């Protein structure tokens, strides 16, 4: 055999060996930081929940989880970015009812709300609280309704955006109460909380976490919570149902997802880490302190079906109530 032919054979064997060794040396997923898309600005409830969960999950995964804030368009900017990310497991998204149930029933979105995402774990249910600036002369819902009827379109009510859970809860309450209030949309809690504290708006429908410190100091007044039973973190605040609106029980929910098509190895690794995170007692306690209820309770197998059911349910509610993106 000529030396040239031997060299070619050795080179071929060497390349093959390097290929095998490369595959053997390639570490298991993940090998680089993971991006977590949060569809609200920093400083709000979603930011709190994402950081609590990421702080534990990244230790289990062995790689940092980096926050990527994409607020706007009623959370659909974040959902669109997550849906279009490479299907490699390196993008995780905190998604709520807005992106898969509310907005898709109000306008066309650039992603399929029921096919673009693969669930990782349920975060929890989110009771909301209706809060007022202390200058508004009301202390309960009956007083609010009386004041609103005596002063039509005088009150301004803030939310985290058109089509957000905050917005939908306010619209349903207004319809059942027979009152009118001006809707003032913001990008997230940090912004509407600041304006409510400053008196630029009169009321807000808010997640519990951002509002609780200001309720406790008296800088805003809690009128009611939206869930069917009182919140464990604010047990002294009555529900909307208790105050004359039987059956009112609105508590949107969040979950962590990755985009569709992620390889099985990466998907299993993510699900295992996020499930273990939600089972951690310290994480559970931290999330409950921010107002999240039923932390991680929905089984993984149920999440996709619940997303589908909610999409149908809210489509019916939105059409019957004639709620639009201009409400």
pLDDT band of 200, cuts 50, 70, 90: very high
Least confident among 24-33, 105-114, 173-182, 202-211: 24-33
**pLDDT computed for residue 115 by the predictor:** 96
Please report which confidence band the pLDDT of residue 109 belongs to, taking 50, 70 and 90 as the band edges.
very high
Selection from 207, 193, 184, 203 nearest residue 94 by Cα: 207
- Whole-number Å distance between alpha carbons of 127 and 129: 7
Residue 192 has pLDDT above 70, yes or no: yes
pLDDT of the residue at 137: 97
Helix (H) or strand (E) holding 320: helix 300-321
Beta-carbon neighbour count of residue 215 at 10 Å? 18
Concatenated DSSP letters of 187-221: SSHHHHHHHHHTTSSSEEEEEHHHHHHHHHTTSSE
CA dihedral over 304, 258, 211, 145, signed as positive or negative? negative
CA distance 194 to 185: 13
Q: What whole-number distance in Å separates Cα of residue 52 and Cα of residue 286?
A: 7
Average pLDDT over residues 59-82: 95
d(CA 107, CA 119): 24
- Reference 85, options 258, 256, 211, 279; nearest CA is 258
Using DSSP, how many helices (H) and how many strands (E) does the chain show? 11, 10
Answer yes or no: is pLDDT of 12 > 70.
no
120-162 pLDDT, tens per residue? 999 999 889 999 999 999 999 999 999 999 998 899 999 988 8
- pLDDT at site 114: 94
Q: How confident is the model at residue 327, as a pLDDT?
A: 56
Nearest to 230, CA basis, from 140, 142, 132, 127: 127
Query: Given this model, what pLDDT does residue 324 score?
Result: 75
Tens of pLDDT along 276-308?
999 999 999 999 988 898 899 999 999 999 999
What tokens were used for 142? 């009956």
Helix (H) or strand (E) holding 120: strand 117-125
């Amino acid at each position: 055999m000529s030396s040239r032919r031997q060299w070619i054979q050795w080179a071929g064997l060497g390349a093959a060996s390097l290929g095998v060794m490369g595959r053997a040396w390639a570490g298991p997923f993940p090998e680089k930081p993971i991006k977590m898309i949060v569809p609200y600005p920093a400083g709000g409830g979603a930011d709190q929940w994402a950081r609590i969960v990421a702080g534990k999950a990244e230790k289990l995964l062995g790689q940092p989880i980096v926050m990527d804030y994409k607020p706007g368009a009623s959370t659909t900017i974040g959902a669109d970015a997550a849906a279009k990310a490479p299907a490699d497991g390196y993008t995780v998204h905190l998604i709520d009812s807005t992106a898969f149930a509310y907005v898709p029933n109000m306008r066309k979105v650039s992603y399929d709300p029921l096919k673009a995402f693969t669930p990782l774990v349920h975060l929890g249910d989110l009771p909301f609280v209706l809060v007022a600036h202390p200058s508004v002369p009301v202390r309960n819902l009956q007083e609010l309704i009386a004041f609103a009827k005596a002063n039509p379109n005088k009150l301004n009510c803030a939310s985290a955006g058109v089509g957000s859970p905050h917005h939908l809860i306010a619209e349903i309450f207004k319809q059942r109460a027979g009152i009118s209030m001006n809707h003032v949309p913001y990008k997230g809690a940090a912004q509407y909380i600041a304006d409510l504290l400053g008196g630029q708006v009169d009321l807000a429908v808010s997640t519990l976490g951002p509002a609780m410190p200001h309720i406790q100091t008296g800088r805003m007044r809690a009128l009611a919570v939206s869930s069917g039973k009182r919140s464990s973190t604010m047990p002294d605040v009555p529900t909307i149902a208790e105050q004359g609106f039987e059956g009112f029980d609105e508590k949107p929910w969040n979950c962590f997802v990755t985009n569709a098509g992620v390889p099985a190895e990466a998907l299993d690794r993510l699900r295992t880490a996020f499930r273990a995170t939600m089972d951690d007692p310290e994480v559970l306690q931290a999330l409950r302190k921010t107002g999240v209820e039923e932390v991680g309770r929905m089984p993984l197998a149920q999440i996709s079906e619940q997303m589908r059911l909610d999409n149908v349910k809210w489509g019916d509610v939105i059409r019957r109530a004639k709620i639009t993106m201009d409400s």
